[in-house]
Amino acid sequence: MELKITVDRSKCSGHARCAMKGPDVYELDDEGFCISDGKIVTDESLRTQVIHGMKACPERAISVIEA
């Protein structure tokens, strides 16, 4: 099953917690903002990182849907 990540760039404040909880999923730009908007994850082994990274964002900038 695929998971699609959406990042609301207007909410992202660069807390980087997504990347701490999901280092193999979430990427940050040079200023620490998440650039994984639109990313599709197919690897089942990364599923936990996707969800934990989403939940770790204090701004609720990340949403995940099953694609």
Identify residues 6-45 at the interface with ligand F3S (CB under 6 A): 7, 12-18, 28, 33-34
Distance from C-alpha of 45 to C-alpha of 13, rounded to nearest angstrom: 28
Q: How far is the CB of 27 from ligand F3S (least distance, A)?
A: 10
Pairing of strands 3-7, 40-41: antiparallel
| CA geometry: angle 8, 13, 19, nearest 5 deg | 80
Q: How far is the CB of 19 from ligand F3S (least distance, A)?
A: 6
Q: Which residues are at the interface with ligand F3S (CB under 6 A)?
A: 7, 12-18, 28, 33-34, 56-57, 59, 61-62
